[in-house]
């Protein structure tokens, strides 16, 4: 041990993270794996039941599959428009002649700093069935009202809209950073070589932006799989009358802290983890495919 003495200082300096992680990170992860193979209500005795939590989840729990389907649907409905809009915003923000750039960036970023609870309460007032703003406008236009929070598809649209509103500016600013890091000489050289603007976009901008697009896709995937607060505030524990807003984490929360099924909920947590990992991997493969456009 004496040989480690000169290294004491750096070890001490990095130790808070590792100590905290042992207690509040690593141990919980291992313990949740242990719990996933047990039946436990949090009070009585833990009972080892092997893989039964997982087999129940997969073969005998329609609500689980509903929550998986909902999570993926909301992820898709929010990520695609959000990243596309962010790309457009980033291009516009990058326009050389644009004035008030700082102001625009701050305004576009503002939704992202606002708490999801506040956002969900505000958007809840947009989507009310009787007195909501949107249904009011629909009614004024002579269109039928929509039962936003109880319709299995529209509740997803409502949640997705909140996610899009919150994250478009964030992603736009990340893209903007990417756009600004592309050296100007590349475009100048391409112009001299007679490349059109479309060609320049396809063979300079897009390929160089690819790592950043990949980064935002993965980030959106991880965030999308963990959606909780939006549906919780908007629809309550249940995910709405038709369970259209019941996401995986909302379901996990219900099973753990409403139904006191800690073992079962731990199994859900592991499925969530595996889904996030697998899905991030697929995204990575998909987006990095055909590296040279």
Partner 1 sequence: MAANTVEVKRNLGVESASPRRTAWLGSALVYTGMGLGALASLFPFYWLFVMSTATTADMFRFPPRLLPGDQLLVNINKVLDGVGFFQSFGNSLIVAVLHTAMVLFFCSMAGFAFAKFDFPAKKPLFLFLLLTMMVPQQLGLIPQFIIMQKLGWINELKALIIPGAASAFGIFWMRQYTDSVIHDELINAGRIDGCRSFDLYWLVALPILKPALATLGIITFLGSWNDYLWPLVVISVQEKFTLQMLIASMNGVYSTDYSMVMAATLMATVPLIVVFTLFSRQFIAGLMQGSVKD
- Span 44-83, contacts to partner 1 by CB under 8 A: none
Residue 95: left if φ>0, alpha if ψ -120 to 50, beta else—which one? beta
**Binding partner 1 by CB under 8 A: which of 66, 83, 87, 93?**
93
Q: Quick one: which of 47, 76, 84, 92 contacts partner 1 (CB under 8 A)?
A: 92
Which is closer to partner 1, CB of 89 or CB of 217?
A: 89
Residue keyed to tokens 């509903």 = 66
Distance (Å, whole) CA 54 – CA 195: 56
CB of 112 to partner 1, least distance (A): 9
Q: Return the residue of 108, 127, 154, 167 that touches partner 1, per CB under 8 A.
A: 108
Q: Is 208 exposed, middle or buried (0-12, 13-18, 19+ CB in 10 A)?
A: middle
Q: Is 95 exposed, middle or buried (0-12, 13-18, 19+ CB in 10 A)?
A: exposed
Token pair listed for 270: 């592991």
Contact status, residue 191 vs residue 203, Cβ threshold 8 Å: no
Stretch that binds partner 1, among 27-35, 46-54, 72-80, 152-160 (CB under 8 A): 27-35
Distance CA 264, CA 35 (A): 8
DSSP state letter for 254: I
**One of 72, 253, 279, 284 touching partner 1 (CB under 8 A):** 253
Minimum gap (Å) between residue 139 Cβ and partner 1? 7
Q: Token pair of 156, please?
A: 């997803």
42 in contact with partner 1 (CB under 8 A): yes
For the CB of residue 210, give the shortest distance to partner 1 in the complex, in Å: 13
**Cβ atoms 247, 67 nearer than 8 A:** yes
User: Interface residues for partner 1 in 196-215 (CB under 8 A)?
Assistant: 196-198, 200-201, 212, 215
Q: Per CB under 8 A, which of residues 109..148 are in contact with partner 1?
A: 109-111, 113-119, 121-126, 130-131, 133, 136, 139-140
Location of structure tokens 């991880």: 222
> If binding is defined by CB under 8 A, does position 107 make contact with partner 1?
yes
Q: What's the token pair of residue 96?
A: 């050389």
The piece of 49-57, 62-70, 74-82, 95-103 that touches partner 1 (CB under 8 A) is 95-103
159 binds partner 1 (CB under 8 A): no
Binder to partner 1 among 55, 129, 153, 180 (CB under 8 A)?
A: 180
Closest to partner 1 by CB, 59 or 198: 198
């Amino acid at each position: 041990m004496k040989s480690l003495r000169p290294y004491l200082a750096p070890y001490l300096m990095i130790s808070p993270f590792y100590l905290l992680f042992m207690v509040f990170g690593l141990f919980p992860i291992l313990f949740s794996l242990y719990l996933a193979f047990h039946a436990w209500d949090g009070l009585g005795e833990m009972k080892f039941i092997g893989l039964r939590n997982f087999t129940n989840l997969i073969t005998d729990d329609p609500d689980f599959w509903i929550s998986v389907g909902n999570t993926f649907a909301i992820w898709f409905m929010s990520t695609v428009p959000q990243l596309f809009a962010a790309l457009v915003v980033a291009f516009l923000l990058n326009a050389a002649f644009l004035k008030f750039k700082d102001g625009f960036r701050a305004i576009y970023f503002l939704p992202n700093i606002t708490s999801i609870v506040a956002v969900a309460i505000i958007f809840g007032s947009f989507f009310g069935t009787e007195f909501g703003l949107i249904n009011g406008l629909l009614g004024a236009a002579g269109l039928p009202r929509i039962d936003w929070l109880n319709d299995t598809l529209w509740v997803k649209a409502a949640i997705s809209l909140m996610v899009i509103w919150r994250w478009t500016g964030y992603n736009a600013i990340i893209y903007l950073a990417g756009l600004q890091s592309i050296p100007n000489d590349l475009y100048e050289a391409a112009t001299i070589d007679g490349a059109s603007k479309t060609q320049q976009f396809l063979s300079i901008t897009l390929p160089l932006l690819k790592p950043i697009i990949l980064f935002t896709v993965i980030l959106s995937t991880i965030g999308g799989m963990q959606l909780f607060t939006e549906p919780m505030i908007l629809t309550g524990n249940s995910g709405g009358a038709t369970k259209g807003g019941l996401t995986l984490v909302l379901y996990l929360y219900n099973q753990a802290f409403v139904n006191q099924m800690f073992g079962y909920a731990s199994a859900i947590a592991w499925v969530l983890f595996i889904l996030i990992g697998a899905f991030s991997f697929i995204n990575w493969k998909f987006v990095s495919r055909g590296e040279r456009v």
